[in-house]
Chains A and B, each alone.
Chain A
Amino acid sequence: MLNYCLRRLLLLVPVFLAVSVVIFLIIHWVPGDPIDNMVQIGSSPEQKAALVARYGLDQPLLVQYGVWLRNLSTGDLGDAIILRRPVLELIAENLPHSLRLGGLAFLFSTVVGIATGALAAVFKDSWIDRSVMALILLGSTLPSFWLGLLMILLFAVQLEWFPVSGARTWTALVLPVLTIGLHGVALVARVTRAAMLDISRRDFVLMLHAKGLSHQRIQLQHVLRHAMLPVVTILSLRIGWIIGGAVTIEYVFARPGLGSLLITSLAQRDYPVVQGCLLMLAIAVMLGTLLGDLVQAGMDPRVREHLR
């Protein structure tokens, strides 16, 4: 198991390098540059050229990539061109907000999603099942932007239970968490229900029924355990999304976060910030899938045996 972990971690290095090349090329090939956002009306073309040279943007792409990679190897993500601060500092300021929002939304969608999915599977074809399926349908199809505004209208404006926007108090987290969480609940509930119904058709479940165990006990103590494997896979893929996927929600609720930082920097073509943020997201996805694989190995003895 330890060897497997080490092997997987080592494999991250070439993946990381490949991802860094893709990230670098994508942002530099997209039309536009940060200097346009910096030149003042009235400045001369010579002043603009001086700015381009100052930030090394007149160098060949290979040279620019080399400089960035060299700095990266020492943990230096460079300085933001527009924001003029170390990228690491900007990410450090915004990451906790994303982790808080994304983490709570992840927890909410996991717990509620598994619970509702299990409930729907246990009470298949009942009004409970139908209600859960309706919730899944709504959660999957409603655009998060619209859902967020609806949440604000209902809970902040009409009922005045929560603030409309911002990140000043813990209560300001509730509506954004619910908005993101409902999407996650829909996905997790659907996967849980489907997995449980699939497992329920296996021979060992028939055996358990034959032994006289109650339906609820079989579903919750035996079937649910087996159904967790595909759910863990789905959840591990969502971990990367926790960090940067909440950008529309951050926008609607005027919250800080890595998603907002990425979008603002992208609009301004602030290359170092975009590269830094995308790298963070890539690392989160890579680590998320690794964690998912390890959890699966921990849960499933067949996987552990295969790894030996």
Chain B
Amino acid sequence: MTSFDSTLRHLALAAASACSLTAFSPALAQDATFVLNSREAGAPTYNPIKGTKLNIANNLIFDRMVMQDADQSFHGQLAESWQASPDGMSWTFKLRRGVKFHDGEPFNAKVIEWWIPKYKGTENAFMVEEIDKVIVVDDYTVRFQMKSPDPSLLLNMATSFMGIPSPKAYEALGDMFGVTAAVGSGPFKLVSFTVGQQTKLVRNDDYRWASDLSKNAGPAKIKNLTLREIQEDATAFLELKTGGVDLLLGVPTDFLPRINAEKALKVVTMPGTEVFYMPMNTSVAPLNDIKVREALALAVNQKEILTSIFGGLGMVANNFLVSALQEANINPKFNISYNADRSKKLLDEAGWAVGANGMRAKGGAPLTLKLWTQNGTQFKRVTEVIQAQLKAVGVNAEITVHEPASINAQYRKKTDHQLAVRAYDYTNADIIDWFFSATRLGYPNVSMFNDPKAEELNAKAMKQSRTWEERVANFKVYHEYVLSQFPLAPIYQPTQSFAYSQTRLKLPETIRGMKMATQSIMDIEVK
């Protein structure tokens, strides 16, 4: 054998070895089990068009036109690019090519033409109500003719309720779509689903079109993903500790020290999407006096609540919106922060004098207010601290705990309640409209806030904004005005925490978006 032959032989052997190593290298097929956040438990369907409660799996099964990052910027998913006309009366979307639904059907402009009208008559119809017509320009270009400018169109398109199902499967399954089967174009396919128990997904091996929020364009690194619903936090923690599950998508603050004490587990926190606040019934005495409302708002010591109840985890809330929103970035003079001295001064000015017992009264009537809250450890704790803080400025607050399912009916009576401790979880400024519009007095407008100027500003923000920038500016003005009337006291913004097994999973360094969702799950590896 010549040296050349020998070299060739060695090269061939080396090539063969390299091939065999590749062939036997660990496959990407890996299994993982996550536990849903208890708030998402019990979702009854995977039908994004008709569903009113969806969970994280929905965005793994269905793609959306766009996705939103934590800085509120929009990133294309099934839409590669988009353009709004200067007057806001039309939107043109260029669609991604090469996308297929799980049943093999192609995604194109005809799908969008079919999809939008499907919302008519459903609980989610309001999301597309400003779209007058859908025009197919070509196979991968679609135009929305609008009835009026809707700068929140992209925001709506980014929500779970705008996941796009396969038309063929949707028509074939009818009412059973989302119940017995759900067909989208997402990185995972639905295998099985038991309400209140678990959802099993399997990787879509054809997936190659993740948004740029994910490092991995597809397919996902997890092969079989099980999403379990465990409502008891202690049980969920023990499952994580024993390796029964790999990741908890929601961890109560109480459990964080215990999880941090486990070497194999890790906690990741992100800015939250919730706000705790205290609405005040502006229609009943003495809360119909703006000085009293301002005094009560300034009596709430947000920092004390943050440190004593939540161990410093999270942020104080100084206005009504989640701090990540642009509309939360208002003129600082409108932010509401603790100021006990000013609170006492305002109450004095309002005629509520301090008696010998340290409590205030006016014309012989003590300043005693009803303070409602709902059943739940965090709510009760926050309410008790607020009761003590109000007492410090001479206000007696009597706590009543209501069952969550019945408290809204109590608010609808309109005059029974005075103060309440509530929270919402929402990342859109139109939450101000939801909770303070005069068209919803009682509930959800627990403050019974009915102000003509606020209604005017509401209409301008909700209906008359032509572009996103205009919308942000109009909502800021609306937000500032609402705060200036003190129908609420902002309290606290929780963080989002999730915990995972470091020995089992490798998470991306940065969690994109406002929650742990599709964009990050694409990048999760099973070790």
Question: How far, in Å, is B446 (CB) from chain A's closest CB?
Answer: 13
Q: B430 touches which one: A31, A42, A153 (CB < 8 A)? A: A42
Cβ contacts under 8 Å, B403 to chain A: 32
What is the chain A residue whose CB lies nearest that of B434? A41
Q: Judging by beta carbons under 8 Å apart, are A39 and B52 in contact?
A: yes
Kindly state whether residue A198 has any CB partner on chain B within 8 Å: no
Question: How far, in Å, is A84 (CB) from chain B's closest CB?
Answer: 6
Question: How far, in Å, is B259 (CB) from chain A's closest CB?
Answer: 14
Kindly state whether residue A40 has any CB partner on chain B within 8 Å: yes
Given contacts A41-B431, A84-B179, contact A254 B230 (CB under 8 A): yes
Kindly state whether residue B12 has any CB partner on chain A within 8 Å: no
Kindly state whether residue B44 has any CB partner on chain A within 8 Å: yes
Q: Judging by beta carbons under 8 Å apart, are B404 and A254 in contact?
A: no
What is the chain B residue whose CB lies nearest that of A80? B44
Q: Judging by beta carbons under 8 Å apart, are A254 and B238 in contact?
A: no
Task: Report B462-478 CB contacts with A as 1/0, cut-off 8 Å.
Answer: 00000000000000000
CA distance A80 to B45 in the complex (A): 12
Cβ contacts under 8 Å, A41 to chain B: 426, 428, 430-431, 434
CA distance A261 to B231 in the complex (A): 13
CA distance A43 to B235 in the complex (A): 36
Given contacts A39-B52, A41-B426, A83-B195, contact A266 B405 (CB under 8 A): yes
Cβ contacts under 8 Å, A66 to chain B: none
Cβ contacts under 8 Å, A253 to chain B: 235
Q: B228 touches which one: A30, A36, A152, A254 (CB < 8 A)? A: A254
Kindly state whether residue A64 has any CB partner on chain B within 8 Å: no
Task: Report B421-435 CB contacts with A as 1/0, cut-off 8 Å.
Answer: 000001010110110
Chain A interface, DSSP helix/strand/loop, else mixed: loop
Cβ contacts under 8 Å, A96 to chain B: none
Q: Which of B214-265 contact A (CB under 8 A)?
A: 228-232, 234-236, 238-239, 241-242, 244
Interface-central residue, A32, A33, A42, A80, by most chain B CB under 10 Å? A42
Question: How far, in Å, is A87 (CB) from chain B's closest CB?
Answer: 13
Q: Judging by beta carbons under 8 Å apart, are A93 and B439 in contact?
A: no
Given contacts A32-B406, A38-B123, A157-B241, contact A84 B228 (CB under 8 A): no
Kindly state whether residue B308 has any CB partner on chain A within 8 Å: no
Binds B, one of A9-17, A44-52, A183-191, A229-237: A44-52
B interface, size bucket: 35 or more
Task: Report A172-185 CB contacts with B as 1/0, cut-off 8 Å.
Answer: 00000000000000
Q: A32 touches which one: B45, B124, B127, B405 (CB < 8 A)? A: B405
Kindly state whether residue A215 has any CB partner on chain B within 8 Å: no
CA distance A163 to B241 in the complex (A): 12
Kindly state whether residue B409 has any CB partner on chain A within 8 Å: yes
Q: Judging by beta carbons under 8 Å apart, are A83 and B235 in contact?
A: no
Cβ contacts under 8 Å, A153 to chain B: 238
CA distance A225 to B242 in the complex (A): 47
Kindly state whether residue B440 has any CB partner on chain A within 8 Å: yes
Q: Judging by beta carbons under 8 Å apart, are A45 and B439 in contact?
A: yes
What is the chain A residue whose CB lies nearest that of B124? A40
CA distance A256 to B244 in the complex (A): 18
Q: Judging by beta carbons under 8 Å apart, are B123 and A33 in contact?
A: no
Q: A33 touches which one: B175, B232, B409 (CB < 8 A)? A: B409
- Number of residue pairs A-B, CB distance < 8 angstroms: 114
Q: Judging by beta carbons under 8 Å apart, are A251 and B194 in contact?
A: no
Q: A264 touches which one: B52, B196, B198, B434 (CB < 8 A)? A: B196
Kindly state whether residue B197 has any CB partner on chain A within 8 Å: yes
Kindly state whether residue A165 has any CB partner on chain B within 8 Å: yes
CA distance A165 to B124 in the complex (A): 35
CA distance A158 to B137 in the complex (A): 64
Cβ contacts under 8 Å, B42 to chain A: 264, 268
Question: How far, in Å, is B336 (CB) from chain A's closest CB?
Answer: 23
Kindly state whether residue B408 has any CB partner on chain A within 8 Å: yes
What is the chain A residue whose CB lies nearest that of B241? A157
What is the chain A residue whose CB lies nearest that of B239? A164
Question: How far, in Å, is B236 (CB) from chain A's closest CB?
Answer: 8
Cβ contacts under 8 Å, A40 to chain B: 52, 123-124, 126, 161
Q: B239 touches which one: A51, A165, A268 (CB < 8 A)? A: A165
Question: How far, in Å, is B404 (CB) from chain A's closest CB?
Answer: 7
CA distance A200 to B124 in the complex (A): 71
Task: Report A239-275 CB contacts with B as 1/0, cut-off 8 Å.
Answer: 0000000000001111010001100101111000000
Kindly state whether residue A160 has any CB partner on chain B within 8 Å: yes
Cβ contacts under 8 Å, B406 to chain A: 30-32
CA distance A90 to B238 in the complex (A): 29
CA distance A136 to B165 in the complex (A): 57
Question: How far, in Å, is A29 (CB) from chain B's closest CB?
Answer: 11
Cβ contacts under 8 Å, B161 to chain A: 40
Given contacts A39-B52, A153-B238, contact A32 B229 (CB under 8 A): no
CA distance A165 to B439 in the complex (A): 46
Cβ contacts under 8 Å, A156 to chain B: 238, 242
Q: A256 touches which one: B194, B230, B430, B434 (CB < 8 A)? A: B194
Q: B235 touches which one: A31, A160, A167, A252 (CB < 8 A)? A: A252
Question: How far, in Å, is B17 (CB) from chain A's closest CB?
Answer: 41
Kindly state whether residue A149 has any CB partner on chain B within 8 Å: yes
Q: Judging by beta carbons under 8 Å apart, are B238 and A43 in contact?
A: no
Between A and B, 23 residue pairs with Cβ closer than 8 Å are A31-B409, A32-B408, A36-B443, A37-B52, A38-B123, A40-B126, A41-B426, A42-B126, A42-B127, A47-B125, A82-B44, A82-B53, A84-B50, A84-B179, A90-B195, A152-B235, A152-B238, A163-B244, A252-B234, A254-B197, A260-B196, A264-B42, A267-B405
Give me the 5 closest cross-chain CB pairs, A-B, nearest first. Answer: A31-B409, A31-B406, A254-B230, A32-B406, A83-B44
With contacts A41-B431, A84-B44, A153-B238 known, what are 5 further pairs, Cβ within 8 A? A41-B426, A152-B238, A157-B238, A163-B244, A256-B197
Binding site for B on A (CB under 8 A): 30-33, 36-45, 47, 51, 80, 82-85, 90, 93, 149, 152-153, 156-157, 160, 163-167, 251-254, 256, 260-261, 264, 266-269
